Structure 1
């Protein structure tokens, strides 16, 4: 049978509008899957890996960017490592599922990193209609991935005799690597410039866990922010001139790793600075979570790392127990109407 363009046109005209729409959607789906696999191949999400833990998504309409430059792009994520001990409490997955809900009220662009289909399904349900970029990451199944290599080093360090036991920063290697991973996710979001905002921030999934109001909100640049620095939430006073060994052993609190904010070009420099400190500590057979790395960065003068980016801290001067760790997030909060934004989410 020979191909006839004229015959093809006649056949297409005879198809009902509903079938035509299905055909077009099918073509879009094929193109979208190819796009998704290509964009995420650097994270080990291509080929057979993606079929194990992640769905093949349909890329919907491109998202416009009509948000104020004062609203940073929010980067966050959730990687499933099951239940684990945090302090004296066993942290269950159900807890995080509950924390997902507040993200339906955060009305600005979000870049979300995940590793399981159920995480995407649950989180995207709460973000319906709000611009969100979903990035699948295969952190612990790809031996060539940075996180796999970091995991092996971390396990060896934690296995040392008499290594400090703080749950989970110095006992759960997967948790430790994920805490370092937030800086890798931030860098990926900066490099891909998903929402073209001059500011970017990390926001932990559970920072607004206690928010019960019906109002929606956006997060603006912190008050009196110095663009040459990175904003952090201060938990307790800083003790200078302490060795990294002392910091790992005693686990003092200074900055909360739950939120950090900065201009994209400054954040990029800070990420490199963070990574250098982390790697120097690992060469000394020391590691923990990101809060320990940050403390060592500014306290241990023997590390030999040039600190080109400083931090600007914000704290609750009233020491309200509900806000000591999360004050900066609430200081940035600006109420906005809970209207449907008519945007689609992108994967």
Structure 2
């Protein structure tokens, strides 16, 4: 590592000043469990199961969008990364010649590998660690860096409840560039690092935990907040909405119920079982599939008419791309924008920090299709038109 440190510290900008330094870490297996309904990819056994179900790595592609946007805005930046798929491959494919950590004890993509890389980057004094992953990756970097260096996440996981993530990969890259360039728009804040217990999720319960705070760049439009829970008084309104939605279901139409307690209320109103953090399908007021992955949803839809029922992720305003990756861009394309029903309380919408809903499906065409204004059901016979943006 000594040689890497020497080479890394010698890099200067074209103006003779030391160029800003970026630690770049990619968790290549992050997000693989999303579309196949695994709620995450923490642990080697879950990664193997995701591959068995046909999942393919997407974190590298999302990391590439971020690093490309960063270097387009800030060409003079020293990038320190990890060999192979944990960063070097993505950087070189983006046209960057990075310094590569010589850590012989680092393997390929385990939690331990991430921590070792983050610790080395913190010790070498990088200005920012930009990582591609989810909440588990954020936890690992927080633990290893001991809050010695700011960090910013490229959203690439299944679970992204922490407040360290950009709203999209490109926005994460733009925010990183603003921060490294010293822009007054990119302020540092104390951001929550949170995570859910994946085993508890698969068992049908939610067990969220705050693991700490980290200094993270912030610009309201470019970064998400931590997920927020319900506030008192919402239950009655949501129950009334759920009853109305259930009563209005048409025979012969397939209804895809997204994850969360809000959509679970619709299932409760129908008197049918549901998956708290999974995606279910209903036909003629009966369950035809529980905890479905992307491929199962596509098979069920076939050429039939379908609708999607989803809720808003409190605090973040995420509509698609956070915790509901089973409802993929292709599923949305098959169903159509006009057959998406969004349920939320007016209070949750009013409290959105950006005043808009966010989409990040990974497909630019579908993300663009979803932008504009969408009606959100907020009460019996009440809707609000809310802006959707990328």
TM-score of the superposed pair, with normalisation by structure 1: 0.30
Q: Which has the larger radius of gyration?
A: 1
TM-score of the superposed pair, with normalisation by structure 2: 0.27
- Identify the structure with the greater helix proportion: 1
Identify the structure with bigger relative contact order (alpha carbons < 8 Å, sequence gap 6+): 1
